[in-house]
Amino acid sequence: MNQQPTSAHGARGAVSTHSVFGAPCWVSLTSRDLEATQDFYQAVLGWKWLKGALGDHFRTALVGGVPVAGIAAVASMWQMAVAWTPYFAVPAADEAASRTRERGGTVAVGPISLPPGRAALLADRDGATFGIWEGELLGNWEAWRQAAPAFVRLHTRDAFDSAIFYGEILDWATDRPGACEVHYEGGEVVLRSRGDVVARIVSGALEAAPDPTIRPHWQVHFAVADVTACARAAEKHGGSVLAESVREAVLRDPDGAQFTVTSHRER
């Protein structure tokens, strides 16, 4: 789990998860080697780094000065899996954690206080890990939305069943002002926030598969200018290319974390 950069507590004009909720609001990478991880993502995605407030094991990635992602080099210390994890905005972390338990999910960590908010690390019924965040969001929320990942995609056993699970926890498709919209398009569940595609849910993952890339998991998609250049940089700096096309490539960093680079930002 990694801290989410926010504006100063109570800052004028700060956006909170009471008005923006249900959508991904942050992504965090759990790794083993902080220096190697920084070098890899700087080479592949051009990220710059800011030391995290939680200590020497944490860093925040910047794009054009805008915080876009976090790294927590605690996988070995905390015996956690190396992986990218999306965090979703919720008005009340304790309530969302309770809903997760009631619906057969798991609360792995938290909710814990990380001023100016609260966070928890959860897993859905099929074992896919995700996080929740309650509190203030980035001071310039719209800047994060433009610099942040293009979207996140859940590979799961049954997309429609998972959409119901997450919808009940995150208040998707409700009458509340600001709620995310859910659509069913081409066999996928598509989540939109303020008109932008922010998440997709697809069926076909296998719970008992020995390959973790086939088991249910959330995949983070980063928008980039040149997919091919990112793929070659990943190979050059100790990573690997799992799949590649002109518009998209699935990459694995040297630590084993999987992510996708895409040439398009969906609307």
CB neighbourhood size of 247 (10 A): 10
* Half-sphere exposure of residue 236: CA atoms within 13 angstroms, side-chain side: 11
pLDDT of residue 3: 56
DSSP character for 174? -
**Alpha-carbon span 253 to 17, nearest angstrom:** 31
Q: In which residue ranges of the chain is pLDDT below 70? A: 1-14, 52-55, 74-80, 138-141, 207-213, 265-267
**Strand pairing report for 258-262 and 217-223:** parallel
What is the pTM assigned to this prediction? 0.90
pLDDT at position 54 is: 65
pLDDT value of residue 9: 37
Distance CA 97, CA 90 (A): 10
Per-residue pLDDT, 208: 62
Q: pLDDT tens, 120-136?
A: 999 999 999 999 999 88
DSSP state of 252: E
DSSP assignment letter at 258: E
